[in-house]
Chain A
Amino acid sequence: MTQLIRVEDLRVVAGDPGSEVEIVKGVSFALEKGEVLALIGESGSGKTTIALALLGYARRGCRLSGGVVQVGEHDMLALDETQLQGLRGNRVSYVAQSAAAAFNPAKKLLDQVVEGPLIHGLGTRAELEAKAIGLFRDLALPNPERIGRRYPHQVSGGQLQRVMAAMALISDPLLVVLDEPTTALDVTTQIDVLRAFKRVVRERGATAVYVSHDLAVVAQMADQIVVLNGGQILERSATAPLLKAPAHEYTRSLLAAARPDTRIRPPCGVAEEAPLLTITGLTAGYGNKNLHGMPAIRVLEDIDLTVRRGQAIGVIGESGSGKSTLARVVAGLLTPALGGLTFDGQPLGGSLSERTPEQFRRIQMVFQNADTALNPMHSVATILSRPLKMYFGLKGAALQVRIGELLDLVRLPRDMADRRPNELSGGQKQRVNLARALAAKPDLILCDEVTSALDTVVGAAILELLRDLRQQLGVSYLFISHDISTVRALCDDIVVMYSGHKVHAGRRESFAEAPYHPYTDLLIHSVPELRQGWLETCGATHGELPPIGERANLPELCTFLNRCPMRIDGLCNRTAPNRRTLDNGSEILCHRDAADLLATQRGVTPTSFGAYA
Chain B
Amino acid sequence: MRSANILIKLEMELPYYPGCTLYTKAKPLNTSLHKSFGALGVKLNELPHWYCCGTTFNLAHDNRMSLIAPLRILAKAQNEDGKVIVPCSICYNTLKRANYILKQDPEALEIINEHLEESYDGNEEVIHPLEFFRDNKELFKDKLKKDLKGLKLGCYYGCLLLRPKEEVQFDDPESPTIFEDFVSLIGATPIDFPFKVECCGSYLVVNSPDAAVDASYKLLKNAQGNGAEAIVTSCPLCHYNLDALQKKIKIAHSEFNEIPIFYFSQILAIALGVEEENLGLEQNKVSPINLLKEYTLL
Q: A and B, one complex? A: no
